[in-house]
Amino acid sequence: MTPSASSGQALRQAQDRPQIIDRTSGLGAQPTPDFEEQRRHWEERSARGRRRRGPGSGAVDRTISDVPLKVAYDPSDVADLDPARDLAWPGAYPYTRGIHANGYRDRLWTMRQFAGFGTAAQTNARYHFLLAQGQHGLSVAFDMPTLMGYDSDAAQARGEVGKCGVAIDSLADMELLFDGIDMADITTSMTINGPACIALAQYVAAAEKKGIPRAKLGGTIQADILKEYIAQKEWIFPPRPHMRIIVDMIDFCTREMPKWNTISISGYHIREAGSTAAQELAFTLADGFAYVEACMAAGMDVDSFAPRLSFFFNSHIDFFEEIAKFRAARRIYARHMREKYGARNPRSWQLRFHTQTAGCSATAQQPENNIVRVAFEAMAAVLGGTQSLHTNSMDEVLALPTEKSVEIALRTQQVLAYETNVTNVVDPLGGSYYVEALTAEMERQAESYFAQIAEYGGVIEAIEAGFFQREIAEASYRYQRSIEAKERIVVGVNAFAKDEEAAEIELLKITEETERGQARAVQAVRQGRDGASVASSLDRLQAACRDPKDNLMPHLIDSVNAYCTEGEIVEAMAKVYGRYTETAVV
Amino acid sequence: MNERPLRIVIAKAGLDGHDRGAKVIARALRDAGMEVIYTGLFQTPEQIVQTAVQEDADGIGLSILSGAHMTLFPLVVEQLQAQGAGDIVFFGGGTIPPDDAQRLRDLGVRAIFTPGAPLQDIVDFVRSECGKRRALVG
């Protein structure tokens, strides 16, 4: 059959049938009703539905953070939005739509699972496993004594060694932690704040012992002490000397570690402590600006250090609110960095961030459900344009995660990255009436908090007055009450619960032998080193603590190289700085 | 019926800074009409029991989310015995796996509440158990 014969036949058949007159092109069509008339129709239908639904139907008209929501959003909600001013294009100021012109097409986010438990040798084995599974970078979780500046054999450490993370007492442990891992090839994130300067010194020293110069080290260290006073409560010294330590670290890294992200300014813990999304956003950015101001006050040029500042946010379960929060964060940061702090380098305007799914949204009841929550939260982070992501494991609400549950969490990211296609288009929710309105609302609430913090005289003054702590405690209690009243449903907790004692999932347990073994190990380190260089390096460190002009970092590297333990170094510094105690706010 | 409200010490021990749960419980008990003393962070078991004895508390609620519960709960039980305060109702909560919770109950911890426990259950437990203690001790 030839093509012309075939089409002639088809034409004849069509002529025999009743005709359909297509008016969709507009000519002769019904007139389109006026948009406002359409609105009135919709409002009537919506009101009828609301009457039928009646009170107490469980319908929630607020976000999880108590932001009032409309039933539907329309162009009037974004009437004030100026696309050129407020959105621009991906990769352009004010970066609402992301910091990269091509989003994830050029570069996927970094899949980075936070891990650490027991001894350095045990965690080292977990790192080898994670790298073999395709993870891109390492993320060190330290145990409580390490985070609070105590050695594993200290009285304060009893029961805590290796429980929440890995115990690192001295350079010897840090060397063991990275045994067999090419520190020039991977990036490492270290979640530690009070003693961050010591952990950084240990990391540099461990790499240099392998022959890798500090300039080649990539990664980040949290070192965000302000949110410790606000939410996480792992401080050592009072706020002002702690700020000096952070400024010294940023200054040192800026000069000597060009690939290192100097600080990870964190909202994660603020949110976990019970804040709203807007509080997380506002308090975190306020902390960030406080570090910028402290570095500038110490004489640093904003464009010398700002490109290496990074952020860390929580991704909670209220999907669109989280996406709006991430978008607002970039816009607010860019505006303040350019307009208030006078940064001229575009990299100084770009807010880069890591995200972790919300531990506090996980439930002990039916823990497998947490896999699903994590998947939604991870997608919100990706639609919000995160640079790296940690997905929580389903069993973290009960104990440290097992290898199996960590693998599922990592696979969740891989499915998101390679199967869902959400990575193909940059900022896919940009222009959504709802998401744009919520983004603007987040920015408005954050600016209002900045004004309140300024009234206290700044972040440190607001901490001392208990402002953040009170705001968070209020929000957290309000949220808990809404769960109790079943205004909000948590599956498996206040609805769809099952009568079972607890899930039968395998849990990872850290034994008491870990604590005894680690205590013996740190004692062996103390016995095997040169006592004279320990004493002299600590003397020089103390002298530097008294002299604000002398950067602490080189002295800290000397001390860790002499195998001074973390507890000894903290003790020496506390003799100059004192220790912080909080007035508890309920 | 005793006129004086029940008095409860809510405590954080060890190095654990996670105080969200402790603060929420403290407020819920206060809203339920009890007197609540929140110890603040980083208390030793000795200090916690001393506070409870000095304040003539009816109960102690200990919150631990750092994994150190199998060390710190038994130390508080020990201190209650040592300070002659075995009548004080000792309960707690946190990220505590089920088999650990059972072992702690066997040691004399009266109740262990894990994440997701309804506030009303905790309030009811405290009112009932601490109320019994008050009726006995006066």
Mean pLDDT value across chain A: 92
Quick check: B78 contacting A, CB < 8 Å?
Answer: no
User: Is A506 a residue whose pLDDT tops 70?
Assistant: no
Quick check: A148 contacting B, CB < 8 Å?
Answer: yes
pLDDT value of position A502: 53
Quick check: B102 contacting A, CB < 8 Å?
Answer: no
| Percent of residues, chain A, with pLDDT higher than 70 | 93
Task: Name the burial class of residue B42, with classes exposed (0-12), middle (13-18) and buried (19+) by CB atoms within 10 angstroms of its CB.
Answer: middle
Chain segment A522-549, per-residue pLDDT in tens = 999 999 999 999 999 999 999 999 999 9
| A305, A265 Cβ separation under 8 angstroms | no
Chain segment B36-69, per-residue pLDDT in tens = 999 999 999 999 999 999 999 999 999 999 889 9
User: Is A3 a residue whose pLDDT tops 50?
Assistant: no
Chain segment A134-176, per-residue pLDDT in tens = 877 899 999 999 999 999 999 989 889 998 899 999 999 999 9
pLDDT value of position A9: 54
Domains and CATH numbers, chain A: 88-107+222-427+448-484 (3.20.20.240)
Chain segment A253-274, per-residue pLDDT in tens = 999 999 999 999 999 999 999 9
pLDDT value of position A28: 56
- Which amino acid makes up residue A10? A
Label residue A4 by pLDDT band (50, 70, 90).
very low
Dist. CA A336–CA A334, nearest whole Å? 6
Helix/strand/coil for B27: helix
Task: Name the burial class of residue A565, with classes exposed (0-12), middle (13-18) and buried (19+) by CB atoms within 10 angstroms of its CB.
Answer: buried
**Alpha-carbon torsion A414, A418, A422, A426, what sign?**
positive
Quick check: B119 contacting A, CB < 8 Å?
Answer: yes
Dist. CA B58–CA A362, nearest whole Å? 32
Give the residue carrying structure tokens 């102690």.
B60
Question: How near does any CA of chain A get to the CA of B43, in Å?
Answer: 10
Domains and CATH numbers, chain B: 7-130 (3.40.50.280)
Length of chain A: 586
| Percent of residues, chain A, with pLDDT higher than 90 | 78
pLDDT value of position A8: 47
How many residue contacts between A and B have a Cβ separation below 8 Å?
105
- When CB atoms are compared, the residue of A160, A501, A586 closest to B66 is A160
Residue A20 burial (CB count, 10 A): 6
Label residue A400 by pLDDT band (50, 70, 90).
confident
Question: How near does any CA of chain B get to the CA of A180, in Å?
Answer: 29
pLDDT value of position A31: 84
User: Is A399 a residue whose pLDDT tops 90?
Assistant: no
- When CB atoms are compared, the residue of A159, A399, A502 closest to B71 is A159
| B44, B55 Cβ separation under 8 angstroms | no
pLDDT value of position A398: 80
Label residue B138 by pLDDT band (50, 70, 90).
confident
Chain segment A542-582, per-residue pLDDT in tens = 999 999 999 999 999 999 999 999 999 999 999 999 999 88
| Terminal Cα distance for chain A, rounded | 86
User: Is B134 a residue whose pLDDT tops 50?
Assistant: yes
Greater model confidence, A489 or A293:
A293
Quick check: B120 contacting A, CB < 8 Å?
Answer: yes
